[in-house]
Amino acid sequence: MIRFITFIGSKLLNVAQGLGEMLALFCETVYYFKEAPRNLPSIFRQMNLIGVGTLPIAMLVALFVGMVLSVQTGTQLALYGTQEAIGAIVGMSMVKELGPVMTSLLVAGRVGSAMAAEVGAMQVYEEIDALKTLEISPVRYLAMPRLIACLFTVPALVSFAIVVGIIGGGVVAEVNPKINVPFTVYYDNMIRALTYKEIFKGLLKAMVFGGIIAHVGCYVGFKTTGGARGIGESTTRSVVLSFLLIMVANYFLTRFMI
């Protein structure tokens, strides 16, 4: 029994320590935002990696998400003769949930894991120590540019994804004989349902998720130990942790913005 309590206690302490360290790293990263002007090249490089590199796959995923959403929902609505609402449903779903969440999960899998692996490799191969001896803060040099890049790039990616997803849904609504909603009707209904406030909320979510992805990737990278195996474990851990935190944050953001 004592062994069990000790086990639970040590796990809880580990979680508390991890959360504390993540918070401390986040505060330090935000503190270094003031140094962003001198790290512009690095920020642009990260934006290119995150944004341009992820754009094609994000578009493709969003296109099919919009199409599936349209075909699934449209056929059900058609049973009750209300398929004209499909534009509003796809639009709202893409803007409020699917766009930000799906794109962020994609970025977490593609970019967050790469960040964890890169920073982790730097940790394992003493490059982080080398930065410290060169009087360069690893948080300023590595974490800050990645966080800023993610904060701006993920909402931009989500914007594209939303547009492509809505177009995909519209095309399916028009060409699928079971739905058969003209694109103009689809578009009008979507525009009527969407407000700037909803779009802002969706992009705000994307920004928060972007922050989570960069922060988790860097935190897990900085904590990497144990050579190549450790780098592999960090990659997996960053993806799992990012997914988990994105889902948790999504609930709370939705709860407070509703």
Partner 1 sequence: MAPDKYYKSQHVVSQGPLGSFWSKLAHGFAPPIMEGDFCPVNFSGSHGVSIKISKLNKSFGATHVLKDIDLIIEPGETFSIIGPSGTGKSLLLKHIVKLEKADSGQILINDHDVNEPQDKNLPRNFRYSMVFQSSALFNSLTVGENVGLWLRENRIYGEVRIRRIIREKLRLVGLAGKEEMRTEELSGGMKKRVAIARSLAMEPDLILYDEPTAELDPVTSDELARVIMSLKEKVKLTTIIVSHDLNFALYLSDRVAMMHGGEIIAIGTPSEIKKSQNPIVRNFIYTTTKGIKGEGD
- Binding residues (CB under 8 A) for partner 1: these are 35, 37-41, 122, 125-127, 129-130, 132-136, 141
Residue 153 beta carbon to partner 1: minimum distance, rounded to whole angstroms:
18
What count of other Cβ atoms lies within 10 Å of the Cβ of residue 215? 24
User: Judged by CB, which is closer to partner 1: 128, or 212?
Assistant: 128
User: Judged by CB, which is closer to partner 1: 13, or 244?
Assistant: 13
User: Judged by CB, which is closer to partner 1: 39, or 235?
Assistant: 39
Answer yes or no: are the C-beta atoms of 113 and 213 closer than 8 Å.
Answer: no
User: Judged by CB, which is closer to partner 1: 182, or 227?
Assistant: 227
Residue 125 beta carbon to partner 1: minimum distance, rounded to whole angstroms:
5
Residue 24 beta carbon to partner 1: minimum distance, rounded to whole angstroms:
17
Residue 220 beta carbon to partner 1: minimum distance, rounded to whole angstroms:
19
* DSSP letter for each residue of the chain: -HHHHHHHHHHHHHHHHHHHHHHHHHHHHHHGGGGGGGGHHHHHHHHIIIIIHHHHHHHHHHHHHHHHHHHHHHHHHHHTT-GGGHHHHHHHHIIIIIHHHHHHHHHIIIIIHHHHHHHHHHHHTTHHHHHHHTT--HIIIIIHHHHHHHHHHHHHHHHHHHHHHHHHHHHHHHH-TTT---HHHHHHHHHHH--HHHHHHHHHHHHHHHHHHHHHHHHHHHT--SHHHHHHHHHHHHHHHHHHHHHHHHHHHHHHH-
Residue 146 beta carbon to partner 1: minimum distance, rounded to whole angstroms:
13
The torsion angles phi and psi of 134, rounded to 5 degrees, stand at: -85, 10
User: Judged by CB, which is closer to partner 1: 5, or 133?
Assistant: 133
User: Judged by CB, which is closer to partner 1: 21, or 126?
Assistant: 126
User: Judged by CB, which is closer to partner 1: 136, or 247?
Assistant: 136
The torsion angles phi and psi of 223, rounded to 5 degrees, stand at: -90, 5
Residue 134 beta carbon to partner 1: minimum distance, rounded to whole angstroms:
5
Residue 38 beta carbon to partner 1: minimum distance, rounded to whole angstroms:
4
